[in-house]
Amino acid sequence: MNPAQQTVNRLRGCAVGALSASTGIAAHGMAGGAVPGTSSLLVMVAACVVLGETVGTTLRRPAGWFTTSACLAFGQLVAHLSLTTLDDATAHGHHGVGAVTPTMAAVHLGVTVVGAVAIRVGETAIPAVLTAIVAALRQVLDPPTVEAPRLDRLFAVSDARRSLRAVAALDTRGPPLMAG
Q: Are 48 and 18 in contact (CB under 8 A)?
A: yes
From first to last of the 180 residues of the chain, give the pLDDT tens digit: 677 778 788 888 888 889 888 887 877 777 676 677 788 888 888 988 998 888 888 876 767 788 888 888 888 888 878 877 766 544 444 444 456 678 777 877 888 888 888 888 888 888 788 888 988 888 888 766 666 666 666 666 666 666 655 555 555 666 777 775
Interior angle at CA 112, CA 110 and CA 115, nearest 5: 100
Residue 44: closest CA among 72, 65, 74, 21: 21
Task: Quote the pTM value.
Answer: 0.62
Q: Cβ atoms within 10 A of the Cβ of 174, count?
A: 6
Euclidean distance between CA atoms 93 and 111, whole angstroms: 24
Residues near 74 by beta carbon (within 8 Å), at least 6 away in sequence: 51
Q: Residues 28, 31, 33, CA angle at the centre, nearest 5°?
A: 55
